A and B are shown apart, each in its own frame.
Chain A
Amino acid sequence: MKQTRAIVITGNGTNCEMEAAHACRLGGFDETVIAHIAEILSGEIRLDDFHFLNLTGGFLDGDDLGSAKAQANRLKNAVVAGTDEKLVDQFTRFIASGKLILGVCNGFQLMVKMGMLPGFDGNYLHQTVTLTHNDCGRFQDRWTYLKVDADSPSIFTRGIDRGIYLPVRHGEGKFLCDSAATLERIETGHLAVMRYSDAGYTEQTMEFPANPNGSTNAIAALCDTTGRLMGLMPHPEAFVHYTQHPRWTREDLPEDGDGLILYKNAAEYAKKNLI
């Protein structure tokens, strides 16, 4: 029996593994495994056995060398026990075999710092963009309106009409590029999947607090050209049911939260293309 399988990596300061796994299950994955990085490094669990990889929120290594830096270094250099294989080889193989990766918040930071996003020209290990300290200089927990680019190749946002409403919870979410050329390629390729916007999802905004961090061009999410790898600072797993909405006691809301569609799309894609 073929099954769609999602994996959520945890350990060393990842915090959102429970709700990310819950979102995968609600989204329709047949099986979801929370794997501690120690279980991957020991060879007990292999990424090859999964279709959808979740790098989720938290404070990997306490943000000590800058968010996700230490984990990026670990993933790039650590060797899987009892093999000659570096862990990073499992990642590149996962990407090459057409599977899905979603990085949320700290996971997005990890993806850009490893070089997985935007992943130009199939090079998924070369860093060209970053996420750094919010302009306000502080961690922020607040909800944001995210205008979605309907022309983006992202498979995760298919079917989203105009935008979605999600919370951000980060101190280092300001998106920056290494050059104007990189930004240009992102913009022309419609890789900036979501932008902080007004409540009607009409205009992107640089105004705090609607744009909580001062990101370049209000960019909140980024995908690669295949659309199978995406990272975003807001937390889709934190809004999969209406009771998570900050105003659910005063607004008429559908049962599902806005974030769930990302996981539904991932499950749908996996079912059609990966098994």
Chain B
Amino acid sequence: MANRIEAALKPGVRDAQGERIKREIEHFLHLEVEEVRTLDVYTLDTALSGEELELAASGPFSDPVIQVWSIDRPLAAGFDFAVEVGFRPGVTDNVGRTAREAVAYLTGRACAEGDGVYYSVQYLLKGHLSAADVEKIATGLLCNTLIQRYSILSAADFAAKGGFPLAVPKVSGETKVEVREIDLEVSDDELMRISKDGVLALTLDEMQIIQAHYRDSKILVERKKFGLGAKPTDVELECLAQTWSEHCKHKIFAGTVQYEDENGNKQEIKSLFKSFIQRTTKDVRERMGDKDFCLSVFKDNAGVIKFNEKHSLVFKVETHNSPSALDPYGGALTGIVGVNRDPFGTGQGAKLIFNTDVFCFADPFYAKPLPSRLLHPRRIYEGVVEGVEHGGNKSGIPTVNGSLVFDERYAGKPLVFCGTAGMMPAVVNGQPGHDKYIKPGDIIVMTGGRIGKDGIHGATFSSEELNENSPVTAVQIGDPITQKRMFDFLIRARDKGLYRFITDNGAGGLSSSIGEMAGECGGCRMDLAKAPLKYPGLNPWEILISEAQERMSLAVPPEQIDEFLAMAVRFGVEATVLGEFTDNGVFHMLYGEKTVAWLPMEFMHEGLPPMQLPAKWTPPHNHEPLLEEKGDYTADLKQLLSALNICSKESVVRRYDHEVQGGSVVKPFSGVANDGPSDAAVVRPILESFEGVVTAHGICPRYSDIDTYHMTANAVDEALRNYVAVGGSLDLVAGLDNFCWCDPVQSEKTPDGAYKMAQLVRSNQALYDVCMEYNLPLISGKDSMKNDFYDGTTKISIPPTLLFSVIGKMDDARKAVTMDVKRPGDIVYLLGKTADELGGSEYLALSGAVGNKIPKVDAAKAYKRYQAYHAAVNQGVVASCHDLSDGGLAVAAAESAFAGGYGMDLDLSRVLWKGDDAGRSDCTLLFSESASRHLVTVHPEKREQFEAIMSGNCFASIGVVTEGQKLSVIGLSGASAVAADLAELKEAWQQTLREL
């Protein structure tokens, strides 16, 4: 018999959550509500006695200081409508899970298998609302119907029915286990139907390759020995679909591209990944010689570089775009806790030291109609921000760096980039920490969460465009605490040498993790019936490909297995033996005694021929706006400071713990009032040492509307100049590339595929060219190639987006430099030249224009200047430094001034100019986004020293820091071009997103 325990705040206790919901209803749905109050509801499907129920209600389930509780009796009173929201059956319910565990501690008895506690929230709404209004509140704000269920009762119905009926959201499914065989001896149309209906995302070519495999007589003979026929089982087909998905296989980056440039020059590129990304690293490493610091690149879950003799640094950035479009909270939460497992599952395992996040959204104030199935950008913003907040904060990993980027086209798919860095001992138990291997006979162990239907087809689903029928099961909800417990256990097991190999279960689930591990030693044999399940009724193929979260896969030597499993029990972590690794060349899956999949490793991993991809570059010609000379640009500057891409993101950043672990040196905010925007982050991962890790990023998708070559060059440069600004060393810095593209494969749905593919080629070309100049090896990365929305009529493709992240070192973090001006009288220098490069700028975007004069990176000159600047930092002569990016000099000067609390007098005639004088104007000098520039302040006593260090580079003194609270810029004519109080500028910068 099930029971309901409710806990309600006592009268007079402020309901902060309810107040927040009320504000959101008003802001977001434009409905007036008098009051919202919330109630916690626990539905217990357990065999507790009446006395035990009372102990639970008065103990762990309520706070006696502020709450009252009841059992099987509604507490709600004084409302007009009640809405109760809980999870759908089978969806991860973290509170329910913790509640169930609390009951077990309380009673001293383990909960019986199948017993459950389920959490819901009751919202009590007061106000003049219609039933339709409440429906709108429920579905538009309180409940994501994809993963949650809700019911609504008016006060009258509530009274008549005695509250909400008792409902147990337990998964009730068939427990019959079934393995189907699929007949591939069918027409091509039928093959495609099988692929499409099954969300396999396999192309006709791929289906035909599979068909041919099952016609091979040698294969059939072998299959017969294991009781398998000539048709693939569903387990095999699903496994191949995961392994061959764009998400796991990166077919576009591995494909053969026929590229034609604007002059008709043709070139065949065999694998963009090998030709550009891998080659960059190889060539840079060769050039570095014995100064090479790369330890493990591209082969593991994350890249590894040397930090010092005793420690290595690990870094990975991932995206989680498609799930975040459907369930922003769950998708983003899974994104962050998912990327945590990458460095953790690299080498023999790493301790996680920081997170980074970059989100790309459409305007949260978007007021036009959207295609059905797309959530409003504001809701995506709220959900993603909160999901990453919970994932990062609860895991105890500081979020040290990130940004928010806005463009209307991200309404089609938001981009959610999550990065995590880790640190591992250089040597673990006598072996390099970044190395690992498997011996045949090692035992396959899965640890962490259990397997459910969550995340089934995540890998294949994200390999297609988002459409109206995107599957519900593709969404997972992360559980940071289960993962944290597992990490606490595994890091100790690592130090005791209890396992040989570790990797994470992400996209494709076990099929991918065990499939890749089996590749290390040449085979595996695994019994899917042994896998721990959240609820009965999963078929073997579902067990194999489920992307249920918080799981790691390990290879444990047989002689260590007992100790490993015993330790797992002590730490409250589930660990299950699933089979063993072999060297017989076969990926062999059983369900009990019965073979359900038998796939030669070679076919799984090498069976796919490269894709053939046409690419043709035709430079776009955008309208070139005529810029009228205005005289005074103060109003433009304020407008820019308020623009979504430039304004303060403090309301979001303060929700992320950026200081946990105690190593914070340069925080997201700098300056006299702790609110100026820092360029990069510096942390000390080893508290006894002053060696710092520096991280920064660059992202400028607007430039893709002109040329992705320069978009990429600018992104790489932006990352490095941010990194350099705070004091990062150029001797030890590495890059990570994350490509988020719209589908570049020419097809009926994508008639401009050849252009988008050419954009991808050009981006890769720039990546190589610029990283070579900057000595930047690429150590890891990821691509997400299907960021489109298509519902049959409307297609929304995101702008080609590259996030470029850097990680490196500064020998002494006490030399770090922040962006706020420090003292009146300090000299203001601008490093680098400015050109007529307003193309793709935030300034032109104010009037809806793009233009064509894209900023071009002169990497060779910039590199030399960055080195000189770094020497100045090391000698302690730099007071402040801020990078110039969106909004150019004017925005950077305003930010540095108001962050530092001192004014600035600047003279545009002293700014160094590059190129034709015709374009030199106050407007271009103020707002041009020319690359590789820094705004630096130096104390007058250090002037000579600074200028001596910088000599031979392009830099100019352009003004002075002043006591007065004003930014004053003199234009080329000698008249004032900008004159504004710092307070006004700061207010313009802070107001836009303050209330979100």
Contacts and interface: CB of A to CB of B under 8 A. Distances in A.
Interface in B547-573: 570-572
B13 A13 contact: no
Nearest to B99: A65
B667 interface: yes
A140 B485 CA distance: 25
B702 interface: no
Contacts of A42: 570
A78 to B, nearest CB: 6
B114 interface: no
B141 interface: no
Contacts of A18: 661-662, 687
A15 B396 contact: yes
Interface in A118-146: 127-130, 132-143
Which of B59, B63, B658, B818 is most buried by chain A, counting CB atoms within 10 A of its CB?
Answer: B63
Interface in B471-508: 479-481, 484-485, 488, 492
Given A38-B572, A238-B662, A77 B818 contact: no
A245 to B, nearest CB: 10
B393 interface: yes
B437 interface: no
B105 A246 contact: no
A249 interface: yes
User: Which of B105, B684, B690 has the most C-beta atoms of chain A within 10 angstroms of its own C-beta?
Assistant: B105
B65 A22 contact: no
A135 B371 CA distance: 37
Identify the interface centre among B687, B813, B816: most chain A CB within 10 Å of its CB.
B687
A12 B481 contact: yes
B61 interface: yes
Interface stretch (A55-63, A187-195, A225-233): A55-63
Contact of A178 (B65, B105, B661): B65
A93 to B, nearest CB: 20
Contacts of B669: 246
Nearest to A242: B814
Contacts of A78: 105
Contacts of A57: 660
Given A59-B481, A132-B63, A249 B817 contact: yes
A82 to B, nearest CB: 12
Contact of B488 (A10, A61, A74, A240): A10
Interface residues of B, number: 70
A73 B101 CA distance: 10
B516 interface: no
B16 interface: yes
Most buried by A among B570, B657, B663: B657
A158 interface: no
A102 to B, nearest CB: 15
B485 A65 contact: no
A58 B396 contact: yes
Contact of B655 (A36, A39, A141, A143): A141
A210 B669 CA distance: 17
Interface string A75-87: 0111100000000
A72 B660 CA distance: 23
Nearest to A244: B664
B385 to A, nearest CB: 10
Contacts of A135: 14, 16
Interface in B879-917: 880, 900
A264 interface: no
B717 interface: no
Interface string B629-670: 000000000000000000000000011111111111111011
A73 B59 contact: yes
Contacts of A243: 665, 684, 690, 813-814, 816
Contacts of A58: 396
Given A113-B63, A237-B662, A65 B98 contact: yes
A19 interface: yes
Contacts of A16: 396, 660-662
Contacts of B813: 243
B659 A169 contact: yes
Interface in A1-39: 10-16, 18-19, 22, 36, 38-39
A134, A240, A247 interface centre (most CB from chain B within 10 Å)? A247
B197 interface: no
Interface residues of A, number: 67
B849 to A, nearest CB: 37
Given A59-B396, A62-B94, A73-B59, A176 B66 contact: yes
A138 B655 contact: yes
Max chain B Cβ within 10 angstroms of own Cβ: one of A39, A73, A135: A73
A139 B105 CA distance: 29
A20 B485 CA distance: 19
A47 interface: no
Contact of A176 (B13, B59, B99, B396): B13
Contact of B389 (A62, A137, A139): A139
A174 B880 CA distance: 37
A246 B670 contact: yes
B837 interface: no
Contacts of A147: none
Contact of A73 (B60, B670, B674): B60
Nearest to A127: B64
B19 interface: yes
A141 B570 contact: no
Contacts of A174: 16
B213 interface: no
B605 interface: no
A261 B843 CA distance: 50
B320 interface: no
A177 interface: yes
Nearest to A57: B660
Give the one of B59, B813, B822 with max A CB within 10 A: B59
A240 to B, nearest CB: 8
A13 B660 CA distance: 13
A130 B63 contact: yes
Contacts of A10: 488
B659 A127 contact: no
A274 interface: no
Contacts of A177: 65
Most buried by B among A12, A134, A214: A12
A136 B820 contact: no
29 contacts: A10-B488, A13-B480, A13-B485, A15-B395, A16-B661, A19-B661, A22-B687, A38-B570, A62-B98, A64-B98, A129-B65, A130-B63, A130-B65, A132-B66, A133-B16, A136-B16, A141-B656, A142-B674, A169-B659, A174-B16, A235-B659, A237-B662, A238-B660, A238-B662, A244-B664, A244-B665, A247-B674, A249-B822, A250-B900
Interface of B: 13-14, 16-17, 19-20, 59-61, 63-66, 94-95, 97-99, 101-102, 105-106, 108, 389, 393-396, 479-481, 484-485, 488, 492, 570-572, 654-667, 669-672, 674, 684, 687-688, 690, 813-814, 816-818, 820, 822, 880, 900
- Nearest 10 pairs between A and B by C-beta? A15-B396, A19-B662, A64-B98, A137-B20, A130-B65, A73-B60, A133-B16, A62-B481, A59-B394, A137-B16
Given A169-B657, A246-B667, A249-B666, 19 more contacts: A18-B687, A22-B687, A38-B571, A59-B480, A61-B101, A64-B95, A72-B60, A130-B63, A133-B17, A136-B16, A137-B16, A138-B20, A141-B657, A174-B16, A178-B64, A235-B659, A238-B660, A243-B814, A249-B818
